[in-house]
Amino acid sequence: MLPIWHLFVELTVCTGDFPGPNTIGFMNILLRAETATGAQQKLSAYFSDHGWSIVKVESARMIGLDFIAEDDDFADLVTRAHAHPDPIILGTLHSYKTN
């Protein structure tokens, strides 16, 4: 089974669920891939299907089976990712407005 990667990304969201035509935000995402680059490519393809796009990957790290999260919400993301064979687990989008 492929390793799980944690990507912390800045992204643009184009959807009627958010204010304005383009909302920018940050999100924790967990998914399986061979490498960090592969994880970013997989995520970019997934986002393009939804009208979202990655602005910048702030960090990418592999999550091992022995990983212990300090935050309960993030621990839930990790648990869910380990339970699925091909997950793309999205955390909460923290958005902000630009001028």
pLDDT one-digit tens code per residue, 42-93 = 999 999 888 889 999 999 999 988 898 989 999 999 999 999 999 999 999 8
pTM score: 0.88
Return d(Cα 79, Cα 84) in angstroms, integer.
9
pLDDT at 36: 96
Our CA angle for 9, 21, 38, nearest 5°, is 25
* Nearest one of 3, 5, 96 to 55, comparing CA atoms: 96
